[in-house]
Amino acid sequence: MVEKSDHAGLWPSLYDPFRTFGAKLADWLSPATEASGNDAAYDISMELPGVSENDIELTVENGVVTIRGEKKTHEEKKGDTWYFSERQYGAFRRSFRLPEDAEGAKAEARMKDGVLHVRVPKRVQEAPAAAQKIKVSRG
């Protein structure tokens, strides 16, 4: 953990604008993700076009879902003149803290059309017992 210390004088620290640059860059390069929930489960959807199911690792530990993977390139083109390339390759890692009522051990994942869908069911909460009337007997 890095803590910022106050500097005396009028000169600001020259590296202050770059202090969180790595984290911001990692967020910018991370796959687009949506998280939602309903009465039955929490859902995480992550866009992973071009990533094989074999290149994805999903873990749940201490109430945190972590998705790791890598988009690999195997194609080499020779003789082409490149004007620009907007394609991204490389490893990624995203972590999501689960709410208290999530059952992480029962998480399920599936890939469909380049989107990873992770479903984490909610714990079934028992309905409170109905009030019972107790007869008071004499003596």
pLDDT recorded at residue 116: 95
pLDDT recorded at residue 87: 67
Looking at the predicted structure, is the pLDDT value of residue 15 above 60?
A: no
Concatenated DSSP letters of 95-133:
EEEPPTTB-GGG-EEEEETTEEEEEEEBPPPPPPPPP--
Residue 106 has φ and ψ, to the nearest 5°, of -105, 15
State the average pLDDT over residues 17-46: 76
pLDDT recorded at residue 3: 42
pTM for this predicted structure: 0.64
Is 30 in a helix, a strand, or coil?
coil
Dihedral sign, Cα of residue 95, residue 122, residue 104, residue 90: negative
Determine contact, residues 93/66, Cβ cutoff 8 Å: yes
State the average pLDDT over residues 2-30: 53
pLDDT recorded at residue 5: 44
pLDDT recorded at residue 122: 94
Tokens for 35, please give them: 């998280």
> What would the pLDDT profile of 82-130 be if each residue is shown by its tens digit?
666 666 678 889 999 999 999 999 999 999 999 999 999 999 877 777 8
> What would the pLDDT profile of 32-71 be if each residue is shown by its tens digit?
899 999 999 999 999 998 888 999 999 999 999 999 998 8
